[in-house]
A and B are shown apart, each in its own frame.
Chain A
Amino acid sequence: MIITNLETVPGRTIIEHFGLVQGNTIRAKHIGRDIFAGIKNIFGGELKGYTELLTESREEATQRMIQQAESFGANAIVNVRFSTSSVAQGAAELYAYGTAVRVE
């Protein structure tokens, strides 16, 4: 499955499209990471635990989007956008959406 945030896939032509596909995940951090982040709050710097958590979540959201596209019979998703928002206390929502197409 080709994923791109361009309009088209370079070097290929889009012959068919299936409309919007989307994938989302909501992940909560757990108490351990919370405590560690609290400590890091004093010293500053990258919160590796959270970065890791959000990266995994983004992976999963993308995976779900791909699942939807595959069920349509698409082989590429173009014009992909990501969005992160916080919808619940202590949880981040990762959302990925794009257009499922078939390229040649």
Chain B
Amino acid sequence: MIDFAIFLTLLGLGFAFGRYAESRHFVSIIQREKESLHCPVVTLDSYPDMHDKTESTLVTGSVVVSIDYFKRFLAGLRNIFGGRMSSYESLLDRARREAILRMKEAAMEKGAVAVISTRIETSSISKNAAKGSVGSVEVLAYGTALISGGEKAES
């Protein structure tokens, strides 16, 4: 009986805090995306005027986001019935956008005009669903920042 009570408590905590953290994170992401719209991120390997730029460097952004108990339980249920795991989708969307934002921010700090040739890698750290272990996802975004020699961002 005590096991069940612990389970319910964890579930409730996971749900409450998870939702809270998630909505805050999304607000922050949307805000920062708006602010960094002037610096494009593309997967193209070539960019107009790229050979005029005197400086270019690799920039990366990475983040590890962890799952909460509620999401994990929901995912476990989903696993039995099949279908889309909506609980994990929001987690991964956040992680990815955060990683891209961090890469952009690193690039903008260097005064970049654009980030080209972007690649994104996702991997899971200890996705093991054994009791008590942490499930988390790491997203890495990397690309080449094109920095005009001396000039700031041009539109």
Contacts and interface: CB of A to CB of B under 8 A. Distances in A.
B92 interface: yes
Contact of B83 (A17, A30, A81, A87): A30
Contacts of A98: 43
Nearest to A60: B84
Contacts of B122: 83, 85, 87, 93, 95
A93 B135 CA distance: 15
A70 interface: no
Contact of B88 (A79, A91, A99): A91
Contacts of B82: 27-33
A31 to B, nearest CB: 5
What bracket does the count of chain A residues touching chain B fall in? 20 to 34
A24 B75 CA distance: 16
Interface in A14-66: 17-20, 22, 24-33
A28 B85 contact: yes
B124 A20 contact: no
B124 A86 contact: yes
B124 A88 contact: yes
Contact of A91 (B40, B43, B85, B121): B85
B119 A19 contact: no
Nearest to A31: B80
B78 interface: yes
B89 A30 contact: no
B43 A24 contact: no
A83 B83 contact: no
A30 B79 contact: yes
Given A78-B44, A95-B92, 20 more contacts: A17-B40, A17-B42, A17-B44, A20-B100, A24-B93, A28-B79, A28-B84, A29-B79, A30-B81, A81-B43, A81-B119, A85-B123, A87-B88, A87-B127, A88-B72, A88-B79, A88-B88, A89-B75, A89-B127, A91-B78
Q: Which 10 pairs, one residue from A and one from B, show the smallest C-beta to C-beta distance?
A: A30-B82, A89-B129, A79-B43, A99-B42, A26-B85, A87-B124, A90-B79, A19-B40, A20-B41, A85-B122
15 contacts: A17-B42, A20-B40, A25-B84, A26-B88, A78-B44, A87-B92, A87-B124, A87-B127, A88-B67, A88-B72, A88-B135, A93-B92, A95-B120, A95-B122, A99-B44
Interface of A: 7, 17-20, 22, 24-33, 78-81, 83, 85-91, 93, 95, 97-99
